[in-house]
Amino acid sequence: MTNAQEEKAGTTAPPSGATNAAEDAVASSSTIIRHEGQTVVKQRNVAEVKARADRPHFVYNRVYVGLAKGPCEEYSIDRDTSVLTRDSTVADFMKKPYALIPQAEGNTYLLVVPKWIDYKAGWLETQTETYNIYKVDHYATWAGLVPEELREELDLKPRFLTLKIQGDYLVGSEDELDDAWIRYRDSLLRREEGIGIRIKPSRASRFNLASRLVEDGVIPWTSKPVEQRWKWQTDIQLRPYQQEAFDFFLKNGAMTLVYPFGGGKSFFGVYVAACISGRTLVVVPSLSLISVWQKYIMEHFPDSGSRPSVGLFYGAKKEKHKDITIATYDSALAHLTKEKYELLIFDESHHFPAETYSRLAFLDARYRLSLSGSPHREDGRSELIYVLGGAPYGSDWERLFKEGWVKRPEVYLHVTSTKLMLLKSLLEEKLKGPTMVFCDTIAIGEDTSRITGLPYIHGRHSLKERSELVRKHPRFIASRIFDEGIDLPDIKNIIEIDFLGGSRRQQLQRVGRLMHSVLEGAEYHLLMSPEELAKYGKRLYGLYSRNFRVSVVTEQQG
């Protein structure tokens, strides 16, 4: 419903049982007192209210709280209740319709919002019957999930304003160095007058120091302006929002770019590799993403111009002395940590868990670019994304939607005990056009393939087999190898029948595949049993945080 419709609904159709206001009010007039986003508080100013002797309690229906869907609110008052108090209470509530609870670890708050209020910020942590509870921290701010006014209220400032890591030293103002000496003592060696604090010589100390600083909201690196060389020619023309990111990269030399899915992060990476023209290592989490990068590079360094040599580095192939090497995280970690590069690109950089891939931080490179559409780790180690990648940039999802660069697909949640039957009916009767079905478990995928006649693409297929199958079949089943980064612009529908428990990131990433679609009316259908919904319903939280509308389809409707 639009705001205008809501207002109309509120004024012309009081809820059943509500007493007509005119009965009780001697004089009234109507004004909108607040109008913000989806929320409208409509209030009639009541000059006088007469309680009638035959009706000690009456319904006061003159404060309309127009929400996304709900009817206008009713307030029951008795003869002792002051109408003005009621009005100002609601008006005050609407000025700040949430509670903020600071958490023990500092720099983190829980934001508690009644569900009927259309206000969100940060990561949706949990839901009760009546409340949404969000976690708001530095990372949420960097990911563009905290509205300006809330940022001011929370005062989520970095703990230190001047500290930076410069070579082997931590430098900054004398006051902040005094505090840092105590706070990060484990990683620091000695204070040196007029220079700063010498960091302990081990790589681990340096890494720990950087992690602690990032946790405290400090971006610890001194910027390293980029020298552009443009030895290779690319035909990519940056979009305006990518150009802004490029300017930021040129200034900083290390950057974590957090645009929405399909916003062109990998494209941007290819452009950056062209302007550096030194040796580049692109690290990706899956074989499928190796093909995406290979395709983008082949297509956008035209044959006619000077072209970089490209090497693939994973289980079956080990081509490392090339201008651009595309490697999996595992192979890079096992074989490439002693190499030197001009530029490192970490794609889907939320994959840096604490103990393993984080060692990639020690790769030697002059510039770094880290790319993620979901820069949040449910294990709480989000700082690593920035420690490895660099200063955060980008991320206003709404801007990209509004300007029409990416589209938000419709999401339908089907709660059903007969998934396969519903899948067949969706495929055969309801959904037209190219369709991908997500199914994690190999045994279920194979059964589904037998029942539907669609091919099942999974990790045992080689890169070549995967692209052949996708090319030949407009409808197919895929395992989680297609969760992230895959660019399939011709897919119209995605149906998900089997998934990784309550993973919000997987859900968001899978819906993100449809944000690459160039077709109108793309639809995402998630099939869950009632038991799965009860246990894994939090899968949907990432979608709610990003303003996706999820329509629930019951068994009868489906």
Ligand X SMILES: Nc1ncnc2c1ncn2[C@@H]1O[C@H](COP(=O)(O)OP(=O)(O)OP(=O)(O)O)[C@@H](O)[C@H]1O
- Give the total of residues touching ligand X (CB under 6 A): 18
Nearer to ligand X, 377 or 516 (CB): 516
Closest to 477 (Cα-Cα) out of 425, 437, 447: 437
Please report how close the Cβ of residue 259 comes to ligand X at its closest, in angstroms: 5
Binding ligand X (rule: CB under 6 A), the pick from 14, 220, 264, 308 is 264
Between the alpha carbon of residue 444 and those of residues 46, 104, 422, 449, 452, the distances in Å are 64, 44, 15, 8, 12
Please report how close the Cβ of residue 509 comes to ligand X at its closest, in angstroms: 7
Beta strands per DSSP E along 332-415: 340-347, 364-371, 391-393, 410-415
**Residue 427 binds ligand X (CB under 6 A):** no
Whole-angstrom distance, CA of residue 524 vs CA of residue 549: 11
Please report how close the Cβ of residue 435 comes to ligand X at its closest, in angstroms: 18
**Residue 263 binds ligand X (CB under 6 A):** yes
128 CB burial (10 A radius; 0-12, 13-18, 19+): exposed
Please report how close the Cβ of residue 185 comes to ligand X at its closest, in angstroms: 39
**Residue 394 binds ligand X (CB under 6 A):** no
Please report how close the Cβ of residue 345 comes to ligand X at its closest, in angstroms: 11
- Please check whether residue 397 is in contact with residue 546, taking contact to mean a CB–CB distance below 8 angstroms: yes
Q: Is 136 helix (H, G, I), strand (E, B) or coil?
A: strand
Nearer to ligand X, 101 or 518 (CB): 518
Please report how close the Cβ of residue 237 comes to ligand X at its closest, in angstroms: 6
Please report how close the Cβ of residue 516 comes to ligand X at its closest, in angstroms: 5
Please report how close the Cβ of residue 253 comes to ligand X at its closest, in angstroms: 21
Nearer to ligand X, 58 or 346 (CB): 346
| Burial track 474-489 (b if 16+ CB lie within 10 A, e otherwise) | ebbbbbbbbbbbbbbe
- Please check whether residue 399 is in contact with residue 514, taking contact to mean a CB–CB distance below 8 angstroms: no
| Burial track 269-292 (b if 16+ CB lie within 10 A, e otherwise) | bbbbbbbbbbbbbbbbbbbbbbbb
Binding ligand X (rule: CB under 6 A), the pick from 221, 267, 293, 397 is 267
**Residue 542 binds ligand X (CB under 6 A):** no
Between the alpha carbon of residue 343 and those of residues 153, 186, 212, 288, 493, the distances in Å are 38, 31, 25, 22, 37
Nearer to ligand X, 188 or 406 (CB): 406
Helix (H), strand (E) at residue 20: none
Nearer to ligand X, 265 or 546 (CB): 265
Nearer to ligand X, 7 or 496 (CB): 496
**Residue 481 binds ligand X (CB under 6 A):** no
Please report how close the Cβ of residue 515 comes to ligand X at its closest, in angstroms: 7
- Interface positions, 361-380, toward ligand X (CB under 6 A): 373
Nearer to ligand X, 131 or 248 (CB): 248
Please report how close the Cβ of residue 487 comes to ligand X at its closest, in angstroms: 4
Contact code string over 512-541 relative to ligand X, x by CB under 6 A: x---x-------------------------
Binding ligand X (rule: CB under 6 A), the pick from 10, 389, 485, 558 is 485
Residues ≥6 apart with Cβ < 8 Å to 44: 21, 25, 28, 29, 30, 31, 62, 63
Nearer to ligand X, 236 or 469 (CB): 236
Residue nearest to ligand X (CB): 264
358 CB burial (10 A radius; 0-12, 13-18, 19+): middle
- Please check whether residue 147 is in contact with residue 121, taking contact to mean a CB–CB distance below 8 angstroms: yes
48-56, 149-157, 203-211, 262-270 -> range binding ligand X (CB under 6 A): 262-270
**Residue 261 binds ligand X (CB under 6 A):** yes
Binding ligand X (rule: CB under 6 A), the pick from 74, 125, 410, 487 is 487
Residues ≥6 apart with Cβ < 8 Å to 30: 11, 42, 43, 44, 45
Closest to 347 (Cα-Cα) out of 414, 455, 278, 267: 267
Q: Is 243 helix (H, G, I), strand (E, B) or coil?
A: helix
- Interface positions, 241-260, toward ligand X (CB under 6 A): 242, 259
Closest to 347 (Cα-Cα) out of 289, 279, 291: 289
Nearer to ligand X, 165 or 258 (CB): 258
Binding ligand X (rule: CB under 6 A), the pick from 42, 44, 62, 265 is 265
Binding ligand X (rule: CB under 6 A), the pick from 39, 211, 252, 266 is 266
- Please check whether residue 310 is in contact with residue 321, taking contact to mean a CB–CB distance below 8 angstroms: no
Whole-angstrom distance, CA of residue 153 vs CA of residue 159: 16
- Interface positions, 187-246, toward ligand X (CB under 6 A): 236-239, 242
**Residue 262 binds ligand X (CB under 6 A):** yes
Query: What's the token pair of residue 351?
Result: 């994959």
Binding site residues, ligand X, CB under 6 A: 236-239, 242, 259, 261-267, 373, 485, 487, 512, 516
